[in-house]
Amino acid sequence: MAEKASPSSNSISLKTVDGKIFKVSPAIANQMLTIQPLIKDSDSSTIISLPDVAAFHLTKIIEYLEGKPAAAPSAVDAFEAQFVKDLSPEELKGLLIAVGYLKVNGLVDLMANTVAKLIENKSVEYVRKFFGVVNDFTPAEEAKCRQEHAWAFDGVDED
């Protein structure tokens, strides 16, 4: 089953938005669900372009997929904690976009959880700023939304 083909003929080339080309094994590439269908039709000359994914993010994604322990859940937890520990909020956001676009196995969950911790217990304005969300409600519409779920806003500090 395991053919020992030379890595260059068997690997998949991925091009990031900042122009770097990465060669990854099919086993790694297949865990990025978005590009999975493209892998089947590709040969060694194919280069798959990844919008929304910068070289830094792809490096981290590959690091995750290659490094994640296969066995014990506790080992996975420790590995994941270490993986997100040194990421700045900016890096996290970029990675969230990249991971969300590529639909990377396991990483979507980890990124969502990590981002949730950053916005938990924060004000609406803080979260808007965090995500770069522009409030497109008119004051009347926003008031109506608050009214609809008034209980959830009851007694919440505005900052």
Partner 1 sequence: MFNPKRRLEKRSKVELEMGSDEIPDLTKKVPANVLSHILTFLPLDEAIRSGILSKKWKDLWRNTTHIELNEKKLIKPLSQLLISRKFVPTKDVTKGANRYALLVYRIMFHHYGDLPSFRILHLWKSLLLGEVQSWVEYVLKTREGVQKLSLECELDNGEMGEWFLFKDDIPKLNFSKGIFQSLGSLEMINYNINCSNAFVGCKNLKTLKLEKINLADRIINDILNNCVVL
Residues in contact with partner 1 by the rule CB under 8 A: 15, 17-18, 38, 42, 46-49, 51-52, 54, 90, 93, 96-97, 99-101, 108-109, 111-113, 115-117, 119-121, 124, 127-129, 131-137, 142, 145-146, 149, 151-156
Alpha-helix runs per DSSP H in the chain: 7-10, 26-29, 36-40, 55-67, 73-85, 89-102, 107-119, 124-131, 139-148, 150-153
3-state secondary structure of 12: strand
CB of 31 to partner 1, least distance (A): 16
Q: Which amino acid is at 32?
A: M
CB of 60 to partner 1, least distance (A): 16
The tokens for 47 are 């280069």
CB of 121 to partner 1, least distance (A): 7
C-beta closer to partner 1: residue 77 or 137: 137
CB of 81 to partner 1, least distance (A): 15
Distance CA 152, CA 158 (A): 13
C-beta closer to partner 1: residue 4 or 73: 73
C-beta closer to partner 1: residue 14 or 65: 14
* Residue 99 CB coordination number (10 Å): 24
C-beta closer to partner 1: residue 4 or 117: 117
Beta partners for residue 26, in sequence order: none
